[in-house]
Amino acid sequence: MAAAYVLLLAALLALASSPTMARDPGALQDLCVADNTSNVFVNGFVCKDPKLVKAEDFFLSGLDVPRDTTNKVGSNVTLINANRIPGLNTLGISMARVDYAPFGLNPPHIHPRATEIQTVLEGSLYVGFVTSNPDNKLVTKVLRKGDVFVFPQGLIHFQFNYGTKKAVALSGLSSQNPGVITIANSVFGSKPDISDDILAKAFQVDKKIIDQIQAHF
């Protein structure tokens, strides 16, 4: 497991140092610790007075603790971004721990602002992403402990634990705020609902089927 952490750390450093991968605006000073008490709205977070910066602004513990996966999809994503570690502000990276129950799924989703690189710490995962129109090519791989996979920015991707034991993965993301859009939630659970006529035509199904799907969101 230690080797996997080292591998992910190296990947995070590469993401942060590459101008083509780290899309967030570059820092103009050594650090810009987020001031989460400020009411000023900016692209990111207002900087705390450097004189008030402390080690705790760059620290978080407890990522080794298993998360609860007793939900409909059987997975739990713990995102570590500038909201959780203020010192990440303007540094262009974040990370996530993902826990999967047996046969748990991290449903198809996209990160609009980040590329994701993931390594498996426990168990095995069936992962994949779909390229954009017109090809819509599905690229998949079975990952085992120590394996690494990259999900390009903005492409639909997923992870599925096809095993009978739990799985755990760690991801690095090339933005301090990668964002996430879960496809099913966005399409069928929008507020207000997208018109049945629109969805029925888009998916080429009867409107009754759309109503049944929307009832679950």
Helix (H, G, I), strand (E, B) or coil at 217: coil
Kindly report the length of the chain.
Answer: 217
Buried/exposed code over 119-131 (b: 16+ C-beta within 10 A; e: otherwise): bbbbbbbebbbbe
Q: Between vectors from CA 25 to CA 42 and to CA 34, what angle results, nearest 5°?
A: 50
Helix (H, G, I), strand (E, B) or coil at 196: helix
Distance from the first to the final alpha carbon of the chain: 37
Can you list the alpha helix ranges (DSSP code H) found in the chain?
Answer: 2-17, 183-188, 196-203, 207-214
177: annotated binding-site residue? no
For residues 33 and 72, what is the distance between their CA atoms, to the nearest angstrom? 36
Amino acid at 6: V
Contact 186, 112 (CB under 8 A): no
For residues 182 and 184, what is the distance between their CA atoms, to the nearest angstrom? 6
216: annotated binding-site residue? no
157: annotated binding-site residue? yes
Contact 166, 97 (CB under 8 A): no
| Residue 107 preceded by cis peptide, ω within 30 | no
Q: Which residues are annotated as a binding site for Mn(2+)?
A: 109, 111, 116, 157
Q: Which residues are annotated as a binding site for oxalate?
A: 106, 111, 116
Q: Which residues are annotated as a binding site?
A: 106, 109, 111, 116, 157
